[in-house]
Copies of this chain bind each other. A is one copy, B any other.
Amino acid sequence: MSKQSTKPPSGTRDFLPRDIARRRHVIGVIERVYASYGFVPIETPSYENLSTLLGKYGEEGDQLLFRLLKRRDALARVLTAGDPQEADLADLGLRYDLTVPLARVVAQYRDLPRFFKRYQIQPVWRADRPGRGRFREFYQCDVDMIGSESLIAESEVLAAVCQVVENLGFDDFTVQVNHRQLLRSMILAAGIALDAEQSALVALDKLDKVGAEGVLAELAERGIAPDAAQTLLELSRPAEADGPPLAALDRLADQLNDDDGQQAIRDLRELNTLCQATVAGRYLRFSPQLARGLSYYTGPIFELNVAQLAGSIGGGGRYDNLVGMFSNQPIPAVGCSLGLERLLLLMDERDLYPELQISAQVIVCNAGAQAEDLLLIAQTLRQAGLRVEVYPNPQVKLGKQLQYADSAAVGIPIAAIVGKDELASGQLTLKNLASGEQQTLPLSEAATQVSVWLS
């Protein structure tokens, strides 16, 4: 067979055992916390009918879908007809996010709880240009509460997410919150027409990245008058970083006087009160310039940021008009998505992983015994709860067996050396490969000694 590339496809990754240990650690923390808040897991197929996906993510999203080529007769028909177009050639698409599948599931299964608290941790695929830490296959960790209009939904989602981030070992993060109705109220107060709302929000959302000048320039480009742009920027002025968390809210309560804006302010105050009763309280900050790009949010929005990290580690908000899209009825929803890949990267940089040994703890080595003796001893050690490998080539010299165990690629800390004479008297020799220490002891005491050395 000719030599070909054995790299994973562009934008994807192989996860070797060490990677898996880290990913499982983080996913385990997320799952345990979400479960403690009463969220339950679902999983959906890797691909959906294209008709389910198309038109849900905007034009750019449609472009980024991975489409599955039709098969056999269905493909033959399209090719025979001649001049096929992209839309004719595919019938299925890889999952692009976890929200559209959730909406489909909520519409399909009518016996779900009325308040459906679900989490979902699965890969999604986007045909983006790979590079700069961007992947085409990456995991999303979504947590959503469906069916409640109460701010308790927001506070539970925020508390769960903050508890996850705390349990992973972070303490220098903030939860910025804002409200879509408040943003609209600011836009109206600035004299910007509502049909430019989405456009203005996209520009405002970049304040962190491009600064005030940058936002003003972009607002001008988007046809918003300089005065209006300036006013919007004033209204959405961030509070002092070390001031009271709701300082800017107090200011806006004076500056805005439409009903929707005042209601949004009351919502945010209540949300703050609720959050103070949870782990989220100490991380919460009102940020009037937080806009979040996605157009589907309808109420409070939030974003999690870690100090000194550009970009967020997660975000979400209330989106009352999306989950019902397949059910033909409005269904209230609050959700938050954590970026798994970014969390993993940060934890790596900050060395936040605990010891995650997953490979064997003991290797059973041969020094003149029968192969079946090695297997029996391995069995005994495994029954004591140890992870045990048997050196699979009994002819090899003991020194080489130990060298293998101690090599960087393997790294098994303890060898159980089985010799003929010792075995005849029910004994074996344990060797601690790090310290060189060695003990000959009865087989029945081996597991205990191994545990002592491991701890």
Binding site for B on A (CB under 8 A): 1, 3-9, 12-17, 20, 35-38, 40-49, 51-52, 63, 66-69, 71-72, 75, 79, 82-86, 89-90, 92, 94, 104-105, 107-109, 111-115, 117-118, 123, 125, 127, 137, 145, 147-153, 155-156, 159, 273-274, 276-279, 325-326, 328, 358-360, 363, 371-376, 379, 382, 385-394, 404, 407-410, 412
Contact = CB atoms under 8 A, between A and B. Distances in A.
A146 to B, nearest CB: 10
Contact of A40 (B1, B68, B92, B358): B358
Contacts of A92: 9, 66
A386 to B, nearest CB: 7
Contacts of A125: 46
B36 A382 contact: yes
A17 B42 contact: yes
Contacts of A359: 38, 40
B47 A9 contact: yes
B63 A390 contact: no
Residue of A16, A85, A376 ringed by the most chain B CB atoms within 10 A: A16
Contact of A386 (B36, B127, B388, B404): B36
Contacts of A111: 408-409
A364 to B, nearest CB: 10
Nearest to A137: B45
Given A20-B41, A47-B66, A276-B372, 8 more contacts: A9-B92, A14-B45, A16-B109, A17-B40, A46-B46, A46-B137, A147-B392, A151-B371
Contacts of A151: 371
A156 B364 CA distance: 12
A90 B66 CA distance: 11
A329 to B, nearest CB: 11
Total copies of the chain: 2
A343 B386 CA distance: 26
A69 B72 contact: no
Contacts of A104: 6, 8
Contacts of A114: 404, 409
B374 A47 contact: no
B43 A375 contact: no
Given A148-B392, A372-B276, A393-B148, A46 B1 contact: no
A118 to B, nearest CB: 8
Contacts of A117: 389
B4 A277 contact: no
A52 B9 CA distance: 10
A8 to B, nearest CB: 5
Nearest to A152: B392
A109 B8 CA distance: 11
B71 A69 contact: no
Contacts of A127: 71-72
Contacts of A404: 113-115
B69 A1 contact: no
B63 A86 contact: no
A4 B82 CA distance: 29
A41 B17 contact: yes
Nearest to A9: B49
A4 B150 contact: no
8 contacts: A3-B328, A7-B108, A9-B47, A16-B105, A36-B386, A68-B69, A115-B404, A277-B379
A1 to B, nearest CB: 5
Nearest to A372: B277
A86 B382 CA distance: 51
Contact of A45 (B13, B72, B84): B13
Contact of A38 (B4, B108, B360, B407): B360
A68 B66 contact: yes
Contacts of A392: 115, 145, 147-148, 150, 152-153, 156
A269 to B, nearest CB: 12
Contact of A37 (B67, B153, B389): B389
A109 B15 CA distance: 11
